[in-house]
């Protein structure tokens, strides 16, 4: 330990006597006094001498000088036998059995430890010294036990305070260090075996034990924070109730301003002695305030400080009697000037003044400063000695359950036990490895109308009946649990406020408490508000962010701060918006005028600013000491309402928002997505795969599909509620809630669960006005008036998990059998098994009949409630949006394309699929507008019959002749013209192809007869068109699609890609018959890429060609019985079908070039044969009726013949 503060040597401020500073005069036999007591004696029935601030010996200390006198006089509380273990071992030797140890978190390197302090002053000892001394003493005195009060000393506030190591000045760090001692990571020794296991579970507190159960062990009475708060999971719930108060059983009024207050302190001590013995002084008011509890333990501190130094408070000084002197006088029953010191404990006392017990039969734990040996002896002697009772086999208790109860045989590694459990019940069994189990049971009465046991501690016993064998894997394999909780709605905050009793009930871990460690916190208004008109977010006006602008915001913060204190500082807060501010939504309003439309959708352009909104929220809550552990992007992103705040978000919206949040938020703040029912695995998959989310949240309101929870991200069951209109359905509700909200999700990977509202009035109020809020949601606590709350059914279902399955436990495999469903957890040597016996089984999470929500993408919907003869139809696209089906032709086209339906859907289902208002479904039209999309199987169709079709293999474009034209590659599932003017082909959320026309103004996509498709703006100006494959038109007959004449001009596109005019019908027919087929109408865009050879005509069936003309493959010249035919194999002259001549070469086009050369070229444009007449002015190639083939120049002179 590097001394951050000085420590001091010892001091003897007063002489030793029979009541002060003479512990060494105690009897030698006191080292084993508990061994003479019977083992069936409860610790509550004993008198136990103890020391307050057991190792406080020194103030300011310097080497060579020792303990400075003034500071030591303020600090020292015990007789000095030497620092640390030297004094502690003497206290144990002389009979002290109740210790008060004060610790500070120290850190050296990466190792943490506890050092012993009194205030700012280090006492030259550490916690390992304490534990080692206790271990050694109990090893030598195995029938003794030691009671330990552990307190965190450092307040970390004022300059003169004790300070924990940086970063460890919080309750969680202190609890963590204690756990490190228990599991051996603090100093290499696993100290958990030194303690009575039930007092250090970390999950629940213990009842006061019998002496036989704790011989040879340290019993941790309680672990307190620096301000006196009691940490959950440790100690005895009766004397140190976690998160609660203990004034009834613990007297520790230590503030003494002047010496006159010493006598007042004594009267406090004396009153507590009366309370522990059921003795009442009738002359004093309030004596019977708490009554008498024979089975309860009492702790009485005699220490005092403040203006009075500890040694004066204990030993007195001239003119003032010390508290220890008062006590010895009371114990001796000696006379003083004022009469007997404790007349209430005298036989034959004045019965008009006193009533109840006449003798001082027990004192509880008496915590002393500077005890004397005489006082210790007398306290020890107050215990009645006796032998341990003769062991007997306890009789099997009577079966408390109906005949249909089930018996389970649990086999869990080295632990096996049998237990009977009634139907319609949930039981939690806890044990340490190799130890005996304990059971807590919540069950419905035989009629199933109400609970007859509420997290009640039961005797683990088997009463026969049907036996189911349950096997628990002793090695955990599943997820680590983060916790359980509920939502601090404004309704809950308004009812609870900072009421510590209510908060302790929810967040404490003692008997009757739920042990919650999570709180869902609405970011602004939800549907459960104290003011029915309170609709707000934290920034309704852009730039006006405030979490406290509304009274409800202030209430929520105050309640969360108090809840965190009640939870011992261990509270995970999940911030969740019910709506984005209006400015962040497409419609600009917090509440939409109608539902299901994109007006209530998050505006993707506002995502960066909305992420900043979350950042401000996290910072504001952090400043108030309640930093959110996680934020959810949106409560129920597929739920739209007009009379409560909601926001619609697509999977794409949440993917984009999650990435923006990850860039803005602190890295230790997690991001949750979805936060809605189990019904949309595709949404969740897109978010888990493409987003920056840390977790997925699920709600329980549709079906029981927990088997479909994603495994790609950690999951949580974030909302479920019970209902006030089911007051007599306890058996049904127990089975459904435990199976579907708790056990089923946990078995399928959930790391925790949060209930809906922590508190409501018994009738479900208060809530927002209008018809959309929940008016029958039952709180975990029901406010019954007069400042009191009653736990609801669901409170006990949650307590069965939260009190025992603490954060850090890991799920382990466990079997189920028939109506017996189980889930198990483990942490170190601690085990928890939760067993549900109910007809509602945890059976894998399949949907029950009628509860399954189908994925309705690519289906046609009708509104189930519409009564018109011709119902409105929508197509749900692959992107999850609804688009209106405008006419019967489109409807028939969609059906022919394989779209199923119509599905008669309720309004809630329609709301799931956002309606793109004024955007129509497309199938068979020639054009589509912004936000319309082609689905697989649908197509655009030009007037001439060209089609742009989305197939399973990708986009396919054909012209009016059904010839394939260019289309982008990639097998997508939708082609959409987006609001940003970009035409995009998607597969799920993946972009396969895009036109890259963002900001171009494109609002229409049209397909044309030539098979091209183009984007046009509002002025009908083309801003983009598809790729033109010029070579695709070789040998094709084409027209202009803008030609309105009855007889349209036609051209033949040659192998060289150039257009030649078709002069007459005979030529057209010849070309048609020899392979060109029907003509195709081309847009000017395509025609412009095919050069027009003005005044040059196409040839087929004629006897000649002129300059620039050509004979295309399979076409011919004809004169009489002779034909000159071009084929790929050869240019051939035939007479009546008989070959007459051939140059032996063929090709795709025979052209009379303008340079006079007659050339045969192949399909690639390469020459295969020529006349070699270049340099001659081209005139005509003429086929004569005599079979002659002559080439003439422009002047008519023959320049070549065959």
Kindly give the pairing relationship between strand 882-884 and strand 874-876.
antiparallel
Percent with pLDDT over 70 in the chain: 97
Question: Which of 711, 984, 644 lies closest to 845, judged by CA?
Answer: 711
Q: CA-to-CA distance for 41 and 130, rounded, in angstroms?
A: 27
Q: CA-to-CA distance for 808 and 1079, rounded, in angstroms?
A: 76
Question: Which of 1162, 426, 1153 lies closest to 742, judged by CA?
Answer: 426
The backbone torsions φ and ψ at residue 205, rounded to the nearest 5 degrees and listed phi first, read: -95, 160
- The two tokens of residue 1088 are 């412009």
Handedness of CA 185, 186, 187, 191 (dihedral sign): negative
Q: CA-to-CA distance for 1130 and 1117, rounded, in angstroms?
A: 14
Quick check: 32 and 146 in contact, CB under 8 A? no
pLDDT at 704: 64
Non-local CB neighbours of 780 within 8 Å, separated by 6+ positions: 486, 506, 514, 755, 757, 758, 759, 791, 792, 794, 795, 798
Q: Tell which CATH architecture fits domain 41-248.
A: Alpha-Beta Barrel (3.20)
pLDDT at 853: 55
Question: Which of 711, 645, 717, 625 lies closest to 677, judged by CA?
Answer: 717
Q: How far is CA 150 from CA 220, 234, 284, 316, in A?
A: 8, 10, 34, 28
Residue range 780-831, pLDDT digits in tens: 999 999 889 999 999 999 999 999 999 999 999 999 999 999 999 999 889 9
For 1031-1201, CATH gives: 2.90.10.10
Q: Which residues sit opposite 1161 in a β-bridge?
A: 1149, 1167
Looking at the predicted structure, is the pLDDT value of residue 390 above 80? no
Q: Which residues sit opposite 43 in a β-bridge?
A: none
Fold assignment, 483-837: TIM Barrel (3.20.20)
Looking at the predicted structure, is the pLDDT value of residue 518 above 90? yes
Q: Which of 181-185, 467-471, 573-577 has the highest mean pLDDT?
A: 573-577
> Strand runs (DSSP E) across 830-953, as ranges?
830-837, 859-863, 874-876, 882-884, 900-905, 915-920, 927-929, 933-935, 939-941, 947-951
Element housing 325 (H / E): helix 323-332
Residue 336 confidence class, pLDDT cut points 50, 70, 90? low
SS3 181: helix
Q: CA-to-CA distance for 1106 and 1192, rounded, in angstroms?
A: 10
**Mean pLDDT, to the nearest integer, of 1166-1181?**
93
H helices then E strands: how many in the chain?
22, 73
pTM of the predicted model as reported, rounded to 2 decimal places: 0.65
Residue range 953-967, pLDDT digits in tens: 999 999 998 999 989
SS3 512: coil
Quick check: 1072 and 1114 in contact, CB under 8 A? no
Q: CA-to-CA distance for 858 and 894, rounded, in angstroms?
A: 9
Residue 661 confidence class, pLDDT cut points 50, 70, 90? very high
Can you spell out the DSSP letters for 666-688?
A: -TTSEEEEEEE-TT-HHHHHHHH
pLDDT at 346: 77
Kindly give the pairing relationship between strand 1198-1201 and strand 1080-1082.
unpaired
> Strand runs (DSSP E) across 180-258, as ranges?
218-224, 250-251, 255-256
- CB-neighbour burial class of residue 973 (10 A; exposed 0-12, middle 13-18, buried 19+): buried
Residue range 1091-1133, pLDDT digits in tens: 999 899 999 999 999 999 999 999 999 999 999 999 999 999 9
Q: CA-to-CA distance for 40 and 390, rounded, in angstroms?
A: 10
pLDDT at 9: 33
**Mean pLDDT, to the nearest integer, of 371-391?**
90
Q: CA-to-CA distance for 916 and 600, rounded, in angstroms?
A: 11
Percent with pLDDT over 90 in the chain: 78
pLDDT at 1: 33
> Is the fold of 41-248 the same as that of 483-837?
yes
Looking at the predicted structure, is the pLDDT value of residue 852 above 70? no
Q: CA-to-CA distance for 604 and 584, rounded, in angstroms?
A: 8
Q: Which residues sit opposite 1135 in a β-bridge?
A: 1122, 1138
Work out the widest C-alpha separation in the chain, in whole angstroms.
164
pLDDT at 8: 33
Residue 917 confidence class, pLDDT cut points 50, 70, 90? confident
Residue range 724-742, pLDDT digits in tens: 999 999 999 999 999 999 9
pLDDT at 334: 52
Non-local CB neighbours of 686 within 8 Å, separated by 6+ positions: 651, 652, 655, 988, 989
Q: CA-to-CA distance for 638 and 582, rounded, in angstroms?
A: 17
Handedness of CA 1083, 1088, 1092, 1094 (dihedral sign): positive
Residue 703 confidence class, pLDDT cut points 50, 70, 90? low
Encode 126-165: b = buried (16+ Cβ within 10 Å), e = exposed. Answer: bbbbbbbbbeebbeebebbbbbbbbbbbbbbeeeeebbbb
What does the chain come to in residues? Answer: 1202
Residue 184 confidence class, pLDDT cut points 50, 70, 90? confident
Q: CA-to-CA distance for 336 and 442, rounded, in angstroms?
A: 57
1163 Rama class: left (phi>0) / alpha (psi -120 to 50) / beta: alpha
Non-local CB neighbours of 684 within 8 Å, separated by 6+ positions: 673, 674, 696, 710
- CB-neighbour burial class of residue 773 (10 A; exposed 0-12, middle 13-18, buried 19+): buried
pLDDT at 807: 94
Q: How far is CA 155 from CA 60, 164, 850, in A?
A: 19, 8, 59
> Strand runs (DSSP E) across 592-744, as ranges?
630-632, 670-676, 695-699, 715-719, 722-723
Q: CA-to-CA distance for 302 and 98, rounded, in angstroms?
A: 13
Least confident of 193-207, 519-533, 655-669: 193-207
pLDDT at 1087: 93
Quick check: 1080 and 1009 in contact, CB under 8 A? yes
Kindly give the pairing relationship between strand 415-421 and strand 406-412.
antiparallel
Query: How many alpha carbons fall within 13 Å on the CB side of residue 1060?
Result: 28
Residue 337 confidence class, pLDDT cut points 50, 70, 90? very low
> Strand runs (DSSP E) across 61-132, as ranges?
61-62, 66-67, 98-108, 111-118, 121-126
Residue range 1020-1077, pLDDT digits in tens: 999 999 988 767 789 999 999 999 998 899 999 999 999 999 999 999 999 999 999 9
- The two tokens of residue 176 are 């963590």
> What's the mean per-residue pLDDT of the chain?
92
Other beta carbons within 10 Å of 221: 28
Write the secondary structure of 751-763 as one string of H (helix), E (strand) and C (coil).
EEEEEEECEEECC
Q: How far is CA 356 from CA 43, 329, 333, 977, in A?
A: 22, 21, 18, 89
> Strand runs (DSSP E) across 461-582, as ranges?
467-471, 483-487, 518-522, 572-576
> What residue ranges do the domains of the chain occupy?
41-248, 255-381, 483-837, 855-921, 1031-1201
Encode 295-314: b = buried (16+ Cβ within 10 Å), e = exposed. Answer: ebbbbbbbbbbeebbbbbbb
Element housing 1158 (H / E): strand 1158-1161
Residue range 394-436, pLDDT digits in tens: 666 788 999 899 999 999 988 999 999 999 999 999 998 888 9
Cα of first residue to Cα of last residue in the chain, in angstroms, is: 115
């Amino acid at each position: 330990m590097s001394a951050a503060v000085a420590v001091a040597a010892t001091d003897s401020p007063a002489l030793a006597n029979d009541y002060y500073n003479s512990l060494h005069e105690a009897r030698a036999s006191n080292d084993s006094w508990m061994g003479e007591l019977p083992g069936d004696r409860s610790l509550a029935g004993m008198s136990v001498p103890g020391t307050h601030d057991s190792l406080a010996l020194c103030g300011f200390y310097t080497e060579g000088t020792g303990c400075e006198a003034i500071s030591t006089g303020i600090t020292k509380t015990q007789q000095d036998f030497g620092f640390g273990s030297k004094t502690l071992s003497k206290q144990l030797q002389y009979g002290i059995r109740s210790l008060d140890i004060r610790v500070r978190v120290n850190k050296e390197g990466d190792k943490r430890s506890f050092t012993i302090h009194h205030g700012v002053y280090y006492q030259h000892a550490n916690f390992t010294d304490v534990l080692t001394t206790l271990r050694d003493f109990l090893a030598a005195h195995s029938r003794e036990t030691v009671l330990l009060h552990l307190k965190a000393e450092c307040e970390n506030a004022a300059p003169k305070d004790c300070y924990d190591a940086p970063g460890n000045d919080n309750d969680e760090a202190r609890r963590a260090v204690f756990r490190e001692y228990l599991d051996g990571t603090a100093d290499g020794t696993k100290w958990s075996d030194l303690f009575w296991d039930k007092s250090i579970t970390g999950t629940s507190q213990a009842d006061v034990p019998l002496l036989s159960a704790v011989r040879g062990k340290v019993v941790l009475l309680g672990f307190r924070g620096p301000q006196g708060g009691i940490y959950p999971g440790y100690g005895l719930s009766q004397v140190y109730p976690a998160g609660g108060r203990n004034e009834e059983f613990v007297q520790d009024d230590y503030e003494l301003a002047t010496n006159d207050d010493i006598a007042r302190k004594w009267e406090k001590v004396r009153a507590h002695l009366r309370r522990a013995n059921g003795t009442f002084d009738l002359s004093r008011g309030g004596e019977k305030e708490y009554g008498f509890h024979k089975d309860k333990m009492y702790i009485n501190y005699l220490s005092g400080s403040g203006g009075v130094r500890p040694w004066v408070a204990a030993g007195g000084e001239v003119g003032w009697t010390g508290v220890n002197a008062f006590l010895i006088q009371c114990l001796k029953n000696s006379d003083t000037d004022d009469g007997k010191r404790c007349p209430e404990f005298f036989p034959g006392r004045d019965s008009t003044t006193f009533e109840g017990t006449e003798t001082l039969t027990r004192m509880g734990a008496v915590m002393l400063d500077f005890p004397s040996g005489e006082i210790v002896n007398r306290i020890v002697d107050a215990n009645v000695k006796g032998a341990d009772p003769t062991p007997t086999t306890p009789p099997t208790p009577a079966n408390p359950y109906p005949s249909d109860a089930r018996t389970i045989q649990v086999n869990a590694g080295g632990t096996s036990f049998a237990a009977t459990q009634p139907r319609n019940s949930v039981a939690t069994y806890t044990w340490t490895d190799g130890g005996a189990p304990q059971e807590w049971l919540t069950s419905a009465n035989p009629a199933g109308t109400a609970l007859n046991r509420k997290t009640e501690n039961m005797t683990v016993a088997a009463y026969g009946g049907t036996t189911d064998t349950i096997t628990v894997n002793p090695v955990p394999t599943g997820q680590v649990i983060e916790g359980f909780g509920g939502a601090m709605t404004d309704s809950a905050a308004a009812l609870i406020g900072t009421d510590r009793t209510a908060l302790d009930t929810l967040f404490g871990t003692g008997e009757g408490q739920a042990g919650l460690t999570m709180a869902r916190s609405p970011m602004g208004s939800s549907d459960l508000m104290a003011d029915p008109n309170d609709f707000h977010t934290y920034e309704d006006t852009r730039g006006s962010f405030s979490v406290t602008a509304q009274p409800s915001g202030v209430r929520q913060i105050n309640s969360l701060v108090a809840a965190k204190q009640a939870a011992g500082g261990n509270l995970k807060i999940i911030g969740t918006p019910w709506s984005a501010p209006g400015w962040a939504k497409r419609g600009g309003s917090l509440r939409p005028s109608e539902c299901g439309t994109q007006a209530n959708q998050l505006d993707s352009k506002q995502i960066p600013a909305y992420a900043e909104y979350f950042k401000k929220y996290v910072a504001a809550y952090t400043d108030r000491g309640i930093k959110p552990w996680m934020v959810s992007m949106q409560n129920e992103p597929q739920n739209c309402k007009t009379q409560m705040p909601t926001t619609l978000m697509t999977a794409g919206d949440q993917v984009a928002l999650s990435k923006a949040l990850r860039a803005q938020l602190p890295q230790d703040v997690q991001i949750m997505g979805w936060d809605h029912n189990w019904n949309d695995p595709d949404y969740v998959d897109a978010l888990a795969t493409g987003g920056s989310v840390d977790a997925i949240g699920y709600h329980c309101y549709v079906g029981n599909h927990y088997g479909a929870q994603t495994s790609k991200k950690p999951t949580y069951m974030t909302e479920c509620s019970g209902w006030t209109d089911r007051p007599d359905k306890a058996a049904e509700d127990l089975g459904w809630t435990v199976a579907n909200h708790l056990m089923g999700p946990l078995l399928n990977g959930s790391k925790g669960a949060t209930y809906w509202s922590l508190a409501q009035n018994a009738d479900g109020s208060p809530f927002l006005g209008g018809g959309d809020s929940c008016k029958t949601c039952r709180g975990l606590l029901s406010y019954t008036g007069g400042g009191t709350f009653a736990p609801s059914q669901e409170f006990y279902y949650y307590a069965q998990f939260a009190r025992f399955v603490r954060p850090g436990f890991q799920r382990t495999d466990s079997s189920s059998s028939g109506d017996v469903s189980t889930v198990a957890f483990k942490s170190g040597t601690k085990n928890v098994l939760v067993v549900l016996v109910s007809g509602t089984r945890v059976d894998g999470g399949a949907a029950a009949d009628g509860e399954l929500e189908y994925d309705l993408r690519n289906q046609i919907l009708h509104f189930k409630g519409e009564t018109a003869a011709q119902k409105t139809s929508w197509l749900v696209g692959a992107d999850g949006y609804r688009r209106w089906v405008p006419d019967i032709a489109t409807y028939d086209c969609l059906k022919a394309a394989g779209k199923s339906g119509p599905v008669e859907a309720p309004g809630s289902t329609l709301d799931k699929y956002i309606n793109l208002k004024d955007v129509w479904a497309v199938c068979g039209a020639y054009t589509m507008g912004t936000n319309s999309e082609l689905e697989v199987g649908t197509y655009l169709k030009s007037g001439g019959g060209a089609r742009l079709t989305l197939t399973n293999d990708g986009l396919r474009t054909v012209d009016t002749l059904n010839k394939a034209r260019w289309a982008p590659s990639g097998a997508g599932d939708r082609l959409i013209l987006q609001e940003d003017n970009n035409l995009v082909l998607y597969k799920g959320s993946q972009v396969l192809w895009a036109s890259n026309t963002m900001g171009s103004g494109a609002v229409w996509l049209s397909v044309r007869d030539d098979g091209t498709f183009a984007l046009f703006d509002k002025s009908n100006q083309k801003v983009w068109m598809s790729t033109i494959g010029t070579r695709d038109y070789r040998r094709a007959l084409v027209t202009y699609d803008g030609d309105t004449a009855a007889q349209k001009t036609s051209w033949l596109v040659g192998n060289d890609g150039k257009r030649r005019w078709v002069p007459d019908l005979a030529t057209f027919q010849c070309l048609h018959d020899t392979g060109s087929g029907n003509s195709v109408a081309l847009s000017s865009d395509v025609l412009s890429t095919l050069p027009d050879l003005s005044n040059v005509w196409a040839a087929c069936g004629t006897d000649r060609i002129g300059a620039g003309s050509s004979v295309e493959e399979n076409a011919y010249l004809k004169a009489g019985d002779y034909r000159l035919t071009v084929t790929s194999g050869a240019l051939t002259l035939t007479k009546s079908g008989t070959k007459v001549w051939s140059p032996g070469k063929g090709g795709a086009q025979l052209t009379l070039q303008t340079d006079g050369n007659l050339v045969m070229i192949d399909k690639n444009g390469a020459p295969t044969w020529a006349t070699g007449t270049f340099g001659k002015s081209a005139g005509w190639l003429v086929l004569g009726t005599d079979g002659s083939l002559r080439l003439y120049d422009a002047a008519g002179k023959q320049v070549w013949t065959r």
